[in-house]
Amino acid sequence: MLLHSFDDLVRTMRSFQASRILLTAVELDVFTAVGAGATGAQAAAKLGAGARSTEMLLNALAALGALTKAGDVFHNTPVTARHLVAGSPEYARPELMHTVNLWSSWTTLTECVRADTAVLPPGIDGREEEWTRSFIAAMHSNARTRAGEMVRAAGAERVRRLLDIGGGSGAYSIAFAQANPNLRAEVFDLAPVLAIAREHIAGAGLAGRISTRSGDLRTDEFGAGYDLILLSAICHMLSAGENRDLLRRCGRALAPGGRVLIRDFILDPGRTSPVPAALFALNMLVATRGGSTYTLAEYTAWLEEAGFGGVERPDPAGDLITAGLQTRQDAAKVRAESADSTKYTLS
């Protein structure tokens, strides 16, 4: 997104109009109403909406290329027919409703900047069931596309006990269990989320190997003896202090030699790139008490404070970070080497 001129600035400021048109179409399920073809009046009757306003909305959608129009009849495009018409195998409206719901939070950005925090109630707890389901559906869709990479990065064949903190739909735990028949996983999340996770786990036929545990990842202890802990799309919800505390509790829950695998946005040192990571920091401003996006240096410092070593970013441009829990001997060796290095430098 490059803004080279005043015209570029104005165009970008007005780009919310196209976004709002598409979000309203998703919210109303307009594309299902259009189906194989419908006039504005026919679509309005299915939606229970005004004929005049529906015609205006459909014309705008056709102008954007989300629909086509022949005479008075509107038709879905191949893309909207595939993803936005109910009954399609790839119907994506449930997960896209999360994007619809983000609108309310983002309209408070000005107030959030003034207040230095979210001004709407944060978190899944306290949100209605429909909001929770759309949020988890969006996370599930993303997790399914990333699960293979996570499994490979962690080396699932070496894992026997997995703890998936804030595991949402259980998509990652399912992928790990499918990759290693000897692995047992536990999904740790809020009770309303776990009800959804259990549906996915049962659907995968893994209820005997993936358990669920309700709790608050901000405060609860996680148990002990895990080989691997997953923190996927969790750290951005928390403040720096909350992440330090979370990683200390993760360290206490790991077996000797255990590891943590983090997936999240990773900012470059200047905090202005990658663009999605910089923009997502504001998504956390409007949606959480103290969340943000962070740099690799910040993650490294938190992990080392919590007793982890060997912090790595497998792909320098990727969003994964791995680290292993240090033994007391390893930690002592690192401290000694650091002291020697400082002594040599000062001399």
Mean pLDDT, residues 269-294 taken together: 96
Domain that holds residue 295: 129-334
* Residue 166 maps to a domain: yes
- The residues that bridge with 73 in the sheet, in sequence order, are 39, 70
pLDDT over threshold 70, residue 51: yes
Given a cut of 60, whether residue 33 has pLDDT beyond it is yes
Query: Which CATH number fits the domain that encloses residue 203?
Result: 3.40.50.150
313, 296 Cβ separation under 8 angstroms = yes
Q: Are residues 55 and 142 in the same domain?
A: no
| Average pLDDT in the chain | 91
* pLDDT at residue 341, rounded to an integer: 40
As a whole number, mean pLDDT of residues 295-313 equals 97
79 & 175 share domain: no
User: Is 339 a member of any domain?
Assistant: no
With bands split at pLDDT 50, 70 and 90, how would you rate the model's confidence at 146? confident
CB hemisphere CA count around 63 (13 angstroms): 10
98, 140, 200, 236: the active-site residue: 236
Q: Considering its fold, how many domains does the chain have in total?
A: 2
Q: Does the structure show a pLDDT above 70 at 338?
A: no
Q: What is the CATH number of the domain that holds 23?
A: 1.10.10.10
Instruction: Give the pLDDT score at 141.
Output: 81
| Residue 236 bears catalytic tag | yes
Residue type, 16: F
> Above 80 in pLDDT, residue 122?
no
Helices (H), the chain: 6-13, 16-28, 30-34, 40-47, 51-64, 78-83, 93-106, 109-115, 129-154, 171-179, 191-203, 240-253, 275-287, 296-305, 328-346
Among candidates 263, 116, 139, which has minimal Cα distance to 190? 139
Q: Are residues 87 and 153 both part of a single domain?
A: no
Note the pLDDT of residue 327.
Answer: 64
Beta bridge partners of 74: 38, 69
DSSP summary character for residue 290: S
Model pTM score: 0.87
Give me the pLDDT at residue 137, please.
Answer: 82
Is residue 178 one of the residues assigned to a domain? yes
Domain membership of residue 243 (yes or no) is yes
In a domain, 121, yes or no: no
Say whether pLDDT at 340 is over 80.
no
Residue 258 lies in a domain: yes
pLDDT at 1: 62
Q: Confirm whether 115 is domain-assigned.
A: no
Rounded distance, CA 244 to CA 252, Å? 13
* Structure-model confidence comparison of residues 144 and 226, the more confident one: 226
Are 187 and 278 contained in the same domain?
A: yes
Q: Is the model's pLDDT at 187 over the cut of 60?
A: yes
Q: Is it the case that residue 125 has pLDDT exceeding 60?
A: no
